[in-house]
Structure 1
Amino acid sequence: MGRIIGLDLGSKTCGVAISDQTGFLARALTTIRFEQEDYDDCFDQILNLLEKEKVNEVVLGLPKHMNGDVGIRGQLSIDFGYELEQEGYHVTLWDERLTTVSAQRLLIEGDVSRKKRKKIIDQTAAVFILQNYLDSKKNRG
């Protein structure tokens, strides 16, 4: 099994997590930074990263409203995932509701300073997205 990348796409940053070779554990990889709403730049950086890491499967966080509706941010993720698929990558959209809240809680409990939390929150959210996906695959057998 190859490694899988998890993405938490925001308006200025994209948190990136990567699985181990066995697809069992997710870990933080990096945060991609780009000008506000410049998704073309973000896309290019992600393509370079996917090539560098030799990854062909992506789990992309899909932001939904608490009632399950997909809003503007969610549609951006859907469109971004479609563009990755056009480049030959297998993309799974993954419900990311509350992942940032969970990541924030984990970092606070770990006594990570506010300044450092701001730098790694997106990576940590990406880890939650990817780990939830990996766990669901294990549970399905």
Structure 2
Amino acid sequence: MKVHPDTPGVDDPGEGRRIGLDVGTVRIGVAASDREARLAMPVETVDRVTGFKDRDGADIERILALIGEYDAVEVVVGLPRDLKGNGSASVKHAKEIAFRIRRRSDVAVRMGDERLTTVAATHALRSSGVSEKAGRRLIDQAAAVEILQSWLDGRLTKLKETQQ
């Protein structure tokens, strides 16, 4: 089944920080942008608690707290797809977390393209001497940075196009 991410810059909420999420079945990597929405930085890794039929757990509460702490105007949740654009089994997890954030917050929630972000994050950490096993929590954060940075770059491109 083809799944399509949102397009950066469309219905843009304007100036302000963004939060990026790499949703896994065990952990959620979190990244945040600077106030100018140009650079993504790692924040933390949140242990995944909330499933499909569970009540919102500590993971959702922590993400909502981070949205408030960073005064975020937009949250970008990674949409897991393969290279052909088909959704993986993890799409349900990402959409569930996005739904729960939307339900409890006024912040804009978008689905961003996540293709190859975990692979890129793993290679970057491995090349810096961090093993995959030792760095799983860091890999989740690094993947969130990749998701968010890709979104920020796409957003800037879109905004420049509309100004011309």
Is 1:129 aligned with 2:143?
no
Cα distance change, pair 111–71 in 1 and its aligned pair in 2 (3 A): closer
Q: TM-score, normalised by structure 2?
A: 0.77
Q: Which moved more, 1:63-72 or 1:84-93?
A: 63-72
| Aligned residues with identical type, % of pairs | 36
TM-score (norm 1): 0.89
User: Is the CA contact (8 Å cut-off) linking 1:11 and 1:36 kept in structure 2?
Assistant: no
- 1:11 is displaced (CA, Å) by 0.8
* In structure 1, C-alpha distance between the alignment counterparts of 2:60 and 2:130, rounded to whole Å: 30
The unaligned stretches of length 5 or more in structure 2 are 1-14
SS at match of 1:72: coil
RMSD between superposed Cα atoms in Å: 1.9
The 1:12–1:114 alpha-carbon spacing in structure 2 relative to 1, beyond 3 Å, is closer
1:51 equivalent to 2:71? Answer: no
Which residue number in structure 2 is paired with residue 12 of structure 1?
A: 26
Equivalences for residues 1-141 of structure 1 within 5 A: 1-35=15-49, 37=51, 40-41=56-57, 42-86=59-103, 87-140=105-158, 141=160
Contact map agreement 2:50 2:56 (CA 8 A) in 1: no
TM-aligned CA deviation for residue 75 of structure 1: 2.3
Counterpart residue identity of residue 117, structure 2: T
Q: 5+ unaligned residues in a row in structure 1: which ranges?
A: none
CA positional deviation for 1:114? 4.2
